[in-house]
A and B are shown apart, each in its own frame.
Chain A
Amino acid sequence: MQPQRYWREIPRRYRLEAGKCRKCGKVFMPPRLICDACRCTEFDMVRLSDKGKVHTYTVIRIAPSGFGEQVPFVLALVDLEGGVRLTMQVADCGPEDVKIGSPVKVEFRKINEVGKSGVICYGYKAVLA
């Protein structure tokens, strides 16, 4: 990943900053320019909860480049408290430990490293609560 792209994503990667529509209150992560519910173009920044539940998940056994050493790992859709659903890895567990509905909390983790000399990309992952 290019450092510039990673840098642009820092507010949501580090602090779970989302956009909340000023008119209808719908929350978007990542933030959007136009609300798809009411077409409003004004948003307030809100921080998403670090608590949630596994909506559903899959087990990655053939990983994309940079993630091969982690297989098998769990990739889940997590319903955060407050109603936003995010895709994230579930760390520190085996595939057999995760169930639909498992309570999780969000932790700050390394997502990937660009080789041995590139930038280290941080972000969020879930762990079983």
Chain B
Amino acid sequence: MVGICGYGAYIPRNRIKVEEISKVWGTDAESYKKGLMLEEKSVPSPDQDTITMAVEASRKAVKRAGIDPALIGAVYVGSESHPYAVKPSGTVLAEALGATPECHTSDFEFACKAGTEAMYVASQLVKAGSVKYALGVGADTSQGAPGDALEFSAAAGAAAFLFSTEKDKIVAELIDTYAYMTDTPDFWRREHMHYPRHGGRFTGEQAYFKHVVSAGKGMMAKAGMKPSDFAYAVFHQPNGKFPLRAGKMLGFEERQILTGWLVNKLGNTYSGASPLGLTAVLDEAKADDKILVVSFGSGAGSDGFVFRATDKLKAAQGLAEKTRQMLDEKKRFLEYGTYLKYRKMIIMNE
């Protein structure tokens, strides 16, 4: 038996509303709110980055697992906003947790699915018996060019999952995994470029829906399951509309999706998006609930996971701050100028 023995989330307190961004660029806020189902998004403070959020989410995962962090044998961080071009995020994270020095670490990149890649590898390493505990983290301070449609959604957050094979510690058993991937140039960022570029509508049918729906179908076929077997389903959420539509195409009802659907108030946290949705589901799930997770990363590919909540989950849920608490409480709304300053988009003298 392999599964999650601890999980944690982190969402910054700053928010900016769609209306505040629209006001500057002369766009119609209502069309974004209605068309993409976006209301506001999280914004990192100037002293926050992928590493700081990964540390906070991982500390919650360790707290829920109740383990000695020195026993974590692998630490993997997935992000497309690692603070250093050369120097791992994982070393800082492992050191902050107290997992060093007997620990393997690596940083993953695959647009928005780098987080589930980290989870995928961490879970399989534990399953293979190579390490006792492995940590998979998805975290991003997403970039979106000013004035681009992405600016309404590119947000910040992190989710962390500790994997184990100890039956008495597992809060969500990992039943099966699946991966679906093709070479699709729908979204990219070249080296030394500040902002990503994307193929506009090409990011929809040929990229997101093709991979998410195929991975969803493939995952369920491999696990021998159908949509009605699941209490919850979490899909990558670049906007509000896409995951609801993908779920419908796969045969899911909205009630199965909404618990892990955070994007209308959170924005797209890229590598943290579907992992954060999973943390919100784990905060609420009951023993024996089945959970489908399908990520998406441009470039392009999707990872599928099927989890089953165990009777150990209930006790773990209250051991750390819940995802919806972080999403809904202690928010600070920013004006656009402060948002630019926080995101370091203002040209300054050295």
Residues of A within 8 A of B (CB): 10, 14-15, 69-70, 91-92, 107-111, 115-116, 120, 122, 125, 127-128
Task: Determine whether the beta carbon of A122 is less than 8 Å from that of B51.
Answer: yes
Task: Determine whether the beta carbon of A115 is less than 8 Å from that of B96.
Answer: no
Task: Determine whether the beta carbon of A122 is less than 8 Å from that of B341.
Answer: no
Q: Mark B278-315, 1 if CB is under 8 A from A, else 0.
A: 00000000000000000000000000000000000000
Q: Does B318 contact A (CB under 8 A)?
A: no
Expressed in whole angstroms, the Cα–Cα distance for A22 and B98 within the complex equals: 22
Q: Does B200 contact A (CB under 8 A)?
A: no
Provide the main secondary structure of the chain B interface: loop
Give A16 Cβ to nearest chain B Cβ, in Å: 10
Residues in A neighbouring B56, C-beta threshold 8 A: 107-108
Q: Does B92 contact A (CB under 8 A)?
A: yes
Residues in B neighbouring A128, C-beta threshold 8 A: 330
The 10 closest A-B pairs by CB, nearest first: A108-B55, A14-B96, A109-B47, A110-B47, A108-B52, A92-B13, A109-B52, A14-B95, A120-B83, A15-B98
**How many B residues, CB 8 Å from partner?**
24
Q: Does B49 contact A (CB under 8 A)?
A: yes
Most central of B14, B45, B98 by chain A CB within 10 Å: B45
Cβ-neighbour of B47 out of A15, A111, A115 (below 8 A): A111
Segment 4-20 of B: residues with Cβ below 8 Å from A: 12-14
Q: Does B48 contact A (CB under 8 A)?
A: yes
Nearest A residue to B98, CB-CB: A15
Task: Determine whether the beta carbon of A70 is less than 8 Å from that of B46.
Answer: yes
Expressed in whole angstroms, the Cα–Cα distance for A70 and B341 within the complex equals: 10
Q: Please list 30 pairs of residues, one from A and one from B, whose beta carbons are closer than 8 Å in the complex, sorted by A's number.
A: A14-B92, A14-B95, A14-B96, A15-B95, A15-B96, A69-B46, A69-B348, A70-B47, A91-B45, A91-B47, A92-B12, A92-B14, A107-B52, A107-B56, A108-B52, A108-B55, A109-B45, A109-B47, A109-B48, A109-B52, A110-B46, A110-B47, A120-B51, A120-B83, A120-B84, A122-B51, A122-B52, A122-B92, A127-B13, A128-B330
Residues in B neighbouring A111, C-beta threshold 8 A: 47
Residues in A neighbouring B52, C-beta threshold 8 A: 107-110, 122
Expressed in whole angstroms, the Cα–Cα distance for A69 and B56 within the complex equals: 24
Task: Determine whether the beta carbon of A108 is less than 8 Å from that of B96.
Answer: yes
Most central of A70, A109, A127 by chain B CB within 10 Å: A109
Task: Determine whether the beta carbon of B49 is less than 8 Å from that of A110.
Answer: yes
Nearest A residue to B95, CB-CB: A14
Expressed in whole angstroms, the Cα–Cα distance for A92 and B48 within the complex equals: 10
Nearest B residue to A13, CB-CB: B96
